[in-house]
A = this chain, B = another copy of it.
Amino acid sequence: MKRTELNELGEFGLINHLTKKFSLQNSSSLKGVGDDAAVIQYGTGKATVISTDMLVENVHFDLIYTPLKHLGYKAVVVNLSDIYAMNAIPRQILVSMSMSNKYSVEALDEIYEGMRLACEHYAVDLVGGDTTSSLKGMTLSLTAVGEQEPSKIVYRNGAKPGDLLCVSGNLGAAYVGLQLLEREKQVFLANPKMQPVFDGQDYLIGRLLKPEARKDIIEFFAEASLLPTSMIDISDGLSSEVLHICNQSKTGAIVEEMHVPVSELTYHKALDFNTDPIVCAMHGGEDYELLFTINAKDADKIKYNLDISIIGEIIPAADGIRLQTKAGRFHDLTAQGWKHY
């Protein structure tokens, strides 16, 4: 029998491969696989937006430098981010968790305390889940549920040539924070008496260990009566997410390097690591910022929001998906996501 290795397909290739034989049978399934979240509508009125994420110990988090409370907080936040990326409001979560008996009740208390703080901060209710044992390690699987009028849900596939490509906040900080923690982990493993030195790096490390979802941006859209034409959250890096929007919208895009927002701290620390800051922003991932497109006529609505950057433009598919460097050269955007296998 033929054996195809998982890494031959990549994450998105694998998902497409596994789900292509499933067809939707229910009219209540407004949107299935392929966006940040699924959309379900029973009857009329508001639709239910639902998304699920799995976090595996030593694949998605390393308990050597991840405080358990932060882990719980982040597990909730990354799930809520998927709901916001649909322009919806998260209201509930379900938490499933498997763990070996190496964990004590007190350790789980820390994780749940982090989850509780996130639930409180985002006004979300824990309504269900499953708790079970594993032979080794911990796996967290969260499902977030939210609501929105069907006409206000923003998908990945609505971008049109001429739309402006926008991003919230700044990019690459979580990746540089990860490099900092990995370096200190190596120092610690070599000499457990060494204490890590993170002076002035709190911001970068915080972006990795305790990210926030951009609830405020979704609230801003509502206040400004602005409906993006497409949206996605940035979990795998800007480059990968631009490709998702373009592939699903059947468009091209130009991203201008000079407009990609990178904080000064990220910039200088990336250079310390001999890394190009723009590479951190394009491929680093885990920023949980929102990438979205708006009709050019809506540009005035975001003009005074300093937390939103216009980083480029949607162009026809035939013109490609490209990065324009500060030097004025063009490079094709490529995805570098999921390299777990």
A residues with a Cβ closer than 8 A to B are: 1-9, 11, 14-15, 17-19, 21-22, 24-26, 28-29, 31-33, 37-38, 40, 42-48, 50-54, 56, 58-60, 91-92, 94, 96-99, 101, 103-106, 108-109, 112-113, 116, 119-120, 123-137, 139, 141, 143, 145, 147, 338, 340-341
Contacts and interface: CB of A to CB of B under 8 A. Distances in A.
A104 B2 CA distance: 9
A101 B32 contact: no
A54 B132 contact: yes
A50 to B, nearest CB: 7
A47 to B, nearest CB: 8
A132 B60 contact: yes
Contact of A42 (B26, B48, B124): B48
B40 A5 contact: no
14 contacts: A6-B108, A11-B132, A21-B116, A22-B119, A29-B127, A40-B145, A44-B45, A50-B94, A52-B128, A52-B141, A54-B97, A54-B132, A59-B132, A139-B139
Contact of A32 (B59, B128, B134): B128
Contacts of A5: 101, 104-105
Contacts of A17: 105, 109
Contact of A136 (B15, B19, B29, B137): B137
A43 B133 CA distance: 37
Given A32-B128, A45-B44, A132-B56, A18 B96 contact: no
Contact of A40 (B4, B92, B97, B132): B92
A7 B103 CA distance: 11
Nearest to A52: B94
Contacts of A101: 5-7, 341
A96 B141 contact: yes
Contacts of A120: 25
B48 A96 contact: no
A19 to B, nearest CB: 6
A131 to B, nearest CB: 5
Contacts of A143: 50, 52, 94, 143
A54 B96 contact: yes
Nearest to A14: B131
